Structure 1
Amino acid sequence: MLFVFSSFAFANSEAENEAARLLNVMGAETAIEQSMNQMMEMQVQQNPALLPFRHVIADFFEQYMSYESLKPEMVKLYAEEFTTDELRELNAFYRTPTGRKTIEKMPVLFARGGQIGIQRVEQNIHMLEAMIVAETERLQLSEPQ
């Protein structure tokens, strides 16, 4: 029984080591720090009254949203979602030129994909409005008078 538990702990530790390596290869620290800065800038831009509190917001994000504060949970997340072998394969892939390009292009792809989604909604918003009107009418007709 002890052997089973120690084997599980070793496998889990191995997966966590691979997950930590993957986060490093993927540049997670830089990505999280950039994201944290962008979130702070968005908060200040959306609410200029927060400008005098910028340092407070920065301290908050550093404490609760920094890579170092998130890393243990991120490692655990990756170790739970991928096997040790899968994490090794991902690490190997992200070390290739194509893998590095994937990491580099991912933010652009996500941003452009989001833009496509926004455009699609804007192009078809009239359909959503018509659907909401139709559903409102249906609900009003089904209410007991």
Structure 2
Amino acid sequence: MKAFVIAAWLLLVTFQLGFGQVRDSHRAAAEAMLVATQAENNFDASIDQLLAQQVGQNPGMKDYEGVMKTFFAKYMSWNALKEEMTKLYTDEFSEEELKKLTVFYQTDVGKKMVAKQTVILQKSMALGQQLVRSHMPELQEAIQKRREELEKK
């Protein structure tokens, strides 16, 4: 009986170790896809754009821009997040899917997608902000109404 329990435990541990870890080839596929998408350049450029936007919207932050850049370089740069980003992709995509994505991003259309991705994201965010601003009175009215309801309780 003792031998059976030990064998079952070893089998369970081996099973968990084999399936609980990402294979090196899966990880390599994720890294190749991230290279094909120029993730490092795009990621760091996005952080720079975010900082520039924040300073543009709040000129008082200009004096703190260097501090913010240092902070983001330490905690939000590609080097700081590469491992987590790789894991994110291995969690969401199979090795085969990552390889297919890499092939796509190496095509002319894939390269265009990478080149336009930041612009599209910026424009979509601006569109969202514009829509919210244009309906802000409606939101403010709803918030005021809810505030009054809460005050009555």
Fold shared by both chains (TM-score > 0.5): yes
Percent identity reads 29
Q: Which amino acid aligns with 1:28?
A: A
Aligned to 2:61: 47
* Alpha-carbon shift at residue 119 of structure 1 (Å): 1.3
Alignment partners' CA distance in 2, 1:16 and 1:124 = 45
Structure 2 residues not aligned, in runs of 5+: 1-10
CA deviations 1:31-51 (Å, max 9, x no partner) are 122133334545665423326
Structure 1 residue 117 corresponds to structure 2 residue 105: no
Aligned to 2:86: 75
Q: Which one of 129, 138, 141 corresponds to residue 140 of structure 2?
A: 129
Aligned to 2:27: 16
Matches within 5 A, 1:28-47: 28-41=39-52, 45-47=59-61
CA deviations 1:109-132 (Å, max 9, x no partner) are 111111111111111111112212
Alignment partners' CA distance in 2, 1:41 and 1:115 = 15
Change (3 A) 1:24 1:40: same
Alignment partners' CA distance in 1, 2:22 and 2:64 = 47
Alignment partners' CA distance in 1, 2:48 and 2:133 = 29
* Alpha-carbon shift at residue 79 of structure 1 (Å): 0.8
* Alpha-carbon shift at residue 22 of structure 1 (Å): 0.6
Change (3 A) 1:59 1:11: closer
Q: Which amino acid aligns with 1:74?
A: M
Structure 1 residue 26 corresponds to structure 2 residue 26: no
Query: TM-score, normalised to structure 2's length?
Result: 0.74
RMSD: 2.7
* Alpha-carbon shift at residue 23 of structure 1 (Å): 0.6
CA deviations 1:11-46 (Å, max 9, x no partner) are 621111000001100001111221333345456654
Match of 1:47, SS state, is helix
Alignment partners' CA distance in 1, 2:16 and 2:117 = 38
Q: Which one of 82, 86, 91 corresponds to residue 97 of structure 2?
A: 86
* Alpha-carbon shift at residue 57 of structure 1 (Å): 4.9
